[in-house]
Amino acid sequence: MIPTSKPVKKSGGRPSVKATFYLTREVLASLEEARLKLREMARPEGKAKITKSLIVEVAIQLAIEELETSGEKSPLAGMLAWQ
């Protein structure tokens, strides 16, 4: 998929493109809980860098890497096989 928006430079220095996805209320609440937990674990200078966008980006990257490495045995493929 080719992004249709112009990249925007975020404070972290990485160019980003705005994307919209729909999540269930439960997943959104879990994402917020994860953000708060990760901020508690982070060093003081890194707390502000932990955002929901960054968590989602890293999770997607990890899922895709695992899919490329393990194929049908990846957690992503396993969870979506019912569709």
Angle ∠(48,25,40) on CA atoms, nearest 5: 25
Q: Where are the beta strands (DSSP E) in the chain?
A: 8-9, 15-16
Has residue 15 been placed in a domain? no
- According to the model, what pLDDT value does residue 81 have? 81
- According to the model, what pLDDT value does residue 67 have? 96
- According to the model, what pLDDT value does residue 3 have? 55
| pLDDT of 10 strictly over 60 | no
Tens digit of pLDDT for each residue in 13-71?
678 899 999 999 999 999 999 999 999 999 988 888 999 999 999 999 999 999 999 99
**Domain residue limits at 40:** 24-80
CA-to-CA distance for 23 and 66, rounded, in angstroms?
22
Has residue 2 been placed in a domain? no
Query: What is the domain count for the chain?
Result: 1
Has residue 5 been placed in a domain? no
**Report field, pTM of the whole predicted structure over 0.75:** yes
Name residue 15's beta-bridge partners.
9
Has residue 9 been placed in a domain? no
